[in-house]
Amino acid sequence: MPFRIAKTFTVESGHLLTKHPGACKFPHGHSRTVEVVLTADTLDVRDMVCDFKALKQVIAAAVARYDHSLALNTADPQFATLRAAYGDRIVPFEKIDPTTEAMARVIFQEIRAALATAPGDPAYPIGPAVRLERVRITETATSWAEYWE
């Protein structure tokens, strides 16, 4: 049976959902918790899946870009104006609404790519047997979405 570890991060972020029939079509924000779960069938030489510091180093950038940002569908008529005014604090979602489900998928893909390409800190290695299992994003105290492959 595999071993699992998780690391959580909290970000304050906003979005608006252009396809939503209710109030969510207007800009609003959330205190989001991003939970990342890694798994491995065996432990490393330190008897760990990997050190939590290593996990944090690899995924911090993927999560940090959402902190104090506004996620926005690139098809939104205000996208270009807001991006020009606020730069990378406007996080583009290519022709899809930045729902929590879509955000979980994007963050999963970014972390998976980072795990595959990051050289890592030699003092805190992440072995090749370590796999990204899932990403869960809590939008409110009672609502979350997750993505895995």
CA-to-CA distance for 33 and 136, rounded, in angstroms? 8
**What is the count of structural domains for the chain?**
1
Tokens 């409110």 belong to residue: 140
Which residue range is the domain that position 83 belongs to?
Answer: 3-147
The neighbour count for residue 2, using CB atoms within 10 Å, is 12
pTM here? 0.93
> What are 117's two structure tokens?
């390409």
Q: Characterize the bridge pairing of strands 131-140 and 143-147.
A: antiparallel
Which three-class secondary structure string do you get for the chain? CCEEEEEEEEEEEEECCCCCCCHHHCCEEEEEEEEEEEEECCCCCCCCCCCHHHHHHHHHHHHHCCCCEEEEECCCCCHHHHHHHHHHHEEEECCCCCCHHHHHHHHHHHHHHHHHHCCCECCECCCCCCEEEEEEEEEECCEEEEECC
- CATH number, residue 61: 3.30.479.10
Q: What string of pLDDT tens digits covers the 149 residues of the chain?
A: 699 999 999 999 999 999 999 999 999 999 999 999 999 999 999 999 999 999 898 888 889 999 999 999 999 999 999 999 999 999 999 999 999 999 999 999 999 999 888 766 788 888 888 999 999 999 999 999 999 99
